[in-house]
Structure 1
Amino acid sequence: MRLPTLLFALAFAVATPALAQAPKPVDSAALAQAKVFMEKSGSAALSQQMVNGVLMAQKAALEQANPGKTAEIAEVIGLMQAEFAKQIPTMIDAMAGVYAQHFTKDELTEVTAFYDSPVGRKMVKEMPQILSESMTVAQTFGQKIAMEVMIKLQPELEKRKLKMGKT
């Protein structure tokens, strides 16, 4: 499973119970400013990028399990994409609520002002590419470290008569 898939799955796994709980009361002005912040910071685009990562992973898994069914898989991926798209606004609103719990309206106004600056706009523009490159670096680094740790701990696994599972 690729890192974007894991991150997105983790985000939804963590967010789902939180969405089910009664939210803590937040200042409505702070919530409104948090939504402005989410828009200016490009959060929806980043969420869509994560969705695309999940969809690519699902497509690859479906293609591996269903060779020769390219058209059918494309249809299902299109349906999945539509379902994810319906959920992004709700997730963004929930995330705005989290920001509103941690920051006042005035603080969020200051943070939002950064995204109106030239460097803030550049950050929003560059963030999808930075995130993509960072995930590649993290995935490569994570795989390298995992391999090194498993080699180092192989004697411990053998001592406990444990076998490595397939990943």
Structure 2
Amino acid sequence: MVSTSLRRGMLPIAAAVLWFATPAMAQDISPAHLAAAREAVDAIDATEQFDQILLNAATQIKAELIVNNPNLQNEISNMVDENALALAPRRGDLENEVARIYAKLFTEQELREIGQFYQSEAGRKLISQGPAASRDMMQAADVWSNGIVRDLRNSAQQGMRRLAPPAEASSAQ
């Protein structure tokens, strides 16, 4: 039987093996496949939702530092901005990782087709109008759902009256 401490010691080793094995699996993606994935990711604005992360982090860190050193507000703001700008090129790392994720899920041909569609007029419109359509769709689904629940409740209550008439009505007969 393996001791608990030995099993605990094996966990970091197993994690390290998985960590180092992942890049090897990622190398199975051809450069053309990865390029198609990058094109699709760019076309669908897949990482746009992450655009504010660095800006929000900088704003939060400035606020934290300025609270303790209000007399250094300008210096802190400039220093954090400089550091944030130095980190901005790392955005490419996210783009590459997201492209790898898409490359694992879709064939090169599928990615090219996705990229072509979303670069078309209809695809760009879908991206720009998609959030509004989703919002309106959820509102319509809520209205529909409420109506379904209401109608099912009413028909079930009517069915219950037929199954088990009120006690007063059956004793009056």
TM-score (norm 2): 0.53
- State the number of aligned residues: 113
Distance across 1 between alignment mates of 2:21 and 2:58: 25
Letter in 2 for 1:85: A
RMSD: 3.1
Distance across 1 between alignment mates of 2:21 and 2:64: 30
Q: Which of 92, 114, 117 in structure 2 is aligned with 1:114?
A: 117
TM-score (norm 1): 0.54
- Report matched runs for 1:3-14 at 5 Å: none
Bigger relative CO (Cα 8 Å, ≥ 6 apart) = 1
Map of 1:22 onto structure 2: 23
Map of 2:160 onto structure 1: none
**Residue 38 (structure 1) aligned with residue 41 (structure 2):** yes
Structure number with larger C-alpha Rg: 2
Map of 1:97 onto structure 2: 100
Letter in 2 for 1:60: A
Letter in 2 for 1:32: A
- Give aligned-pair identity as a percent: 25
CA-CA distance at 1:122 after TM superposition: 3.9
CA-CA distance at 1:100 after TM superposition: 0.8
Pair 70,57 (structure 1): closer, same or farther in 2 beyond 3 Å: same
Q: Secondary structure at the match of 1:69?
A: helix
For structure 1, the residue ranges without an aligned partner over 5 or more in a row are 1-16, 131-167
Pair 80,123 (structure 1): closer, same or farther in 2 beyond 3 Å: farther
**Residue 48 (structure 1) aligned with residue 38 (structure 2):** no
- Report matched runs for 1:74-153 at 5 Å: 74-122=77-125, 124=127
